[in-house]
């Protein structure tokens, strides 16, 4: 009996030990599970925080990308990359080659470049998945506004009839809207000189005349003007615009709006930015925006108004060379040309324009006809934080070439 009791106690002891072991095992497993859950919870919290960091930083990345894009594209003459086939001179694109215009899409190239740099920022964050940014908006408007005017009137040469009494000749007469109504304006009768019909009151129209109207010299729309040029200048002034150019019966005016230099830029992507672990996936909207300061539109407006919509260099050359003739001294002409080109330079609080004549060619048989290759630089006076070997504040400078001459028939460059 004593032996049985010892066995019972031993068994009870064994059960006690086994129970403790079971409790410890169970606790350890539970602790292990808890630790795993805890690690996952930490991971989730950190993921959310990381996404929040991306969200805080994206506007800055967008701004840095935009600044770099403006700097690089401007330095490259308005191109993100100068593609083969783009005409260049001294490694820079030629925006005007006499009457040919090769203007890049400066703003579009900046947008393209901004997207490229922004996507580099996104791919440099290893722990998030993000689609490519596909759209950047900077501002949508036309800084250079051009209007063309013509002078029109219903005055016409018509009412033709055969004059049998004088030997069957055909005659036409100026209509009643003409100042010289009834005068013969066309005839095949020998010895009779027809006159030109003169409208009583010409009417300014934009681009083209209305149906039933004819085009007349601009002076018929402004009786006080002594020349077509004067009539055009007065019309532009009336419209609150600047005079650009004129032909015998058309007048071009231009208006450059000084743009504000603060813009809200926005980058968008169709895909969200996501972060995911085995048990967790979080995402945020990838669209981002930032307020930036830039004069890109003022730079573009200056370039377009002076070298695309008109040829300011040619106009200056014509004016400067008007006092010279074919036999004028070569060096004197060159000096006058250089001075005339430099006279186009200007500077305001936003931008500065500088021109450097790189090549001046004088027509061999006539020294008053000149062709030039001019390097144009339009600098933004705002500082941009950009990389060019080192990261520093720099001023973007749009650089390109204008090749022109005082007479487009002379094209030696």
Partner 1 sequence: MKKGFFPFTIAALGLIFTVTMIVGVLLIFLAFKFHIDINLKFEYEKSFSDLLMLSLLRLNYNSTYPAYRVLAERSVNGFDDSMKKFLSDKITLMADADCFRLANSTSSILNTSCEAYKQTGEAFIFKPYNPNKLVEEITLTYNQVER
Q: Which residues make up the interface to partner 1 (CB under 8 A)? A: 1-2, 5, 8-9, 12-13, 15-16, 19-20, 23-24, 26-27, 30-31, 34-35, 38, 41-42, 45-46, 49-50, 52-53, 56-58, 60-61, 64-65, 67-68, 117, 120-121, 124-125, 385-387, 391-393
Q: How far is the CB of 127 from partner 1 (least distance, A)?
A: 9
Instruction: Tell the smallest beta-carbon distance from residue 46 to partner 1 (Å).
Output: 6
Query: Which is closer to partner 1, CB of 285 or CB of 345?
Result: 285
Q: Between the CA of residue 384 and those of 62, 119, 193, 203, 290, what are the distances in Å?
A: 13, 20, 70, 50, 15
- Name the one residue in this structure whose structure tokens are 């400067």: 320
CA dist., res. 394 & res. 392, Å (int): 6
From the CB of 31, what's the least distance to partner 1, in Å?
5
The helix, strand and coil proportions of the chain, stated in percent and rounded to the nearest 5, come to: 35, 30, 35
Query: Minimal distance in Å, beta carbon 35 to partner 1?
Result: 7
HSE of 409, CA atoms in CB hemisphere, 13 A: 2
Q: How far is the CB of 396 from partner 1 (least distance, A)?
A: 13
Per-residue burial over 351-380, b if 16 or more Cβ lie within 10 Å, else e, is bbbbbebeebbbbeeebbbbbbbbbbbbbb
**C-alpha–C-alpha distance, residues 220 and 249, integer Å:** 10
What are the structure tokens assigned to 344, written together? Answer: 């186009």
**Which is closer to partner 1, CB of 95 or CB of 117?**
117
* Residue placing its CB nearer to partner 1 in the complex, 9 or 192: 9
Residue placing its CB nearer to partner 1 in the complex, 3 or 240: 3
Minimum Å distance from CB 126 to partner 1?
A: 9
Nearer to partner 1, 264 or 392 (CB): 392
Token code pair at residue 114: 């901004």
Give 21 or 345: the residue with its C-beta nearer to partner 1.
21
As measured in angstroms, the least distance from the Cβ of 278 to partner 1 is 18
65/266 Cα distance (integer angstroms): 12
Closest to 111 (Cα-Cα) out of 88, 78, 145: 78
Nearest to 183 by CA among 170, 162, 198, 166: 198
Nearer to partner 1 among residue 15 and residue 195 (C-beta):
15
Contact 60, 117 (CB under 8 A): no
**Smallest separation, CB 78 to partner 1 (Å):** 19
- Cβ proximity to partner 1: between 128 and 251 the closer is 128
CB nearer to partner 1: pick between 45 and 326: 45
Nearer to partner 1, 113 or 305 (CB): 113
At its nearest, how many Å lie between partner 1 and the CB of residue 397?
17
In whole angstroms, how close is the CB of 393 to partner 1 at the nearest point?
Answer: 7
Q: Could you give the CA distance from residue 355 to residue 371 in angstroms, rounded to a whole number? A: 15
DSSP 260: P
| Residue whose pair of structure tokens reads 């690690």 in the numeric block | 39
Closest CA to 72 of 268, 296, 290: 296
Burial of 167 (0-12, 13-18, 19+ CB in 10 A): exposed
| CB crowding 200-227: b at 16 or more within 10 Å, else e | eebbbbeeebeeebbbbbbbbbbeebee
């Amino acid at each position: 009996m004593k032996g049985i009791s010892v066995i019972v106690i031993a068994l009870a002891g064994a059960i006690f030990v086994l129970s403790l072991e079971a409790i410890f095992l169970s606790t350890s497993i539970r602790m292990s599970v808890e630790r795993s859950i805890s690690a996952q919870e930490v991971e989730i919290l950190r993921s959310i925080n990381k996404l929040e960091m991306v969200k805080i930083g994206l506007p800055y990345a967008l701004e840095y990308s935009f600044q770099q894009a403006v700097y690089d594209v401007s330095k490259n003459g308005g191109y993100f990359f100068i593609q083969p086939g783009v005409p260049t001179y001294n490694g820079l694109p030629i925006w005007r080659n006499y009457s040919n215009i090769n203007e890049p899409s400066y703003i579009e190239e900046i947008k393209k470049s901004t997207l490229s740099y922004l996507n580099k920022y996104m791919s440099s964050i290893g722990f998030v998945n993000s689609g490519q940014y596909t759209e950047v908006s900077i501002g949508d408007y036309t800084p250079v506004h051009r209007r063309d005017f013509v002078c029109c009137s219903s005055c016409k040469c018509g009412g033709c009839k055969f004059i049998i009494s004088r030997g069957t000749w055909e005659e036409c007469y100026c209509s009643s809207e003409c100042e010289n109504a009834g005068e013969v304006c066309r005839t095949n009768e020998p010895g009779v000189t027809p006159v030109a019909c003169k409208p009583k009151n010409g009417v300014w129209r934009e681009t083209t005349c209305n149906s039933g109207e004819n085009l007349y010299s601009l002076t018929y729309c402004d009786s006080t003007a002594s020349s077509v040029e004067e009539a055009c200048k007065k019309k532009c002034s009336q419209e609150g615009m600047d005079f650009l150019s004129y032909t015998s019966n058309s007048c071009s005016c231009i208006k450059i709006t000084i743009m504000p230099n603060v813009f809200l830029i926005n980058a968008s992507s169709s895909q969200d930015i996501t972060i995911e672990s085995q048990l967790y996936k979080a995402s945020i909207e990838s669209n981002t925006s930032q307020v930036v300061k830039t004069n890109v539109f003022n730079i573009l407006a200056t370039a377009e108004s002076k070298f695309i919509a008109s040829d300011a260099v040619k106009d200056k050359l014509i004016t400067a060379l008007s006092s010279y003739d074919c036999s004028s001294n070569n060096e004197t002409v060159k000096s006058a040309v250089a001075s005339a080109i430099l006279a186009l330079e200007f500077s305001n609080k936003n931008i500065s324009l500088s021109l450097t004549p790189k090549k001046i060619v004088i027509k061999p048989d006539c020294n008053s006809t000149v062709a030039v290759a001019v390097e144009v630089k339009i600098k933004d006076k705002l500082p941009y934080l950009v990389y060019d070997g080192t990261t520093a504040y720099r001023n973007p400078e749009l650089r390109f070439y204008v090749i022109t001459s005082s007479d487009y028939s002379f094209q030696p460059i």
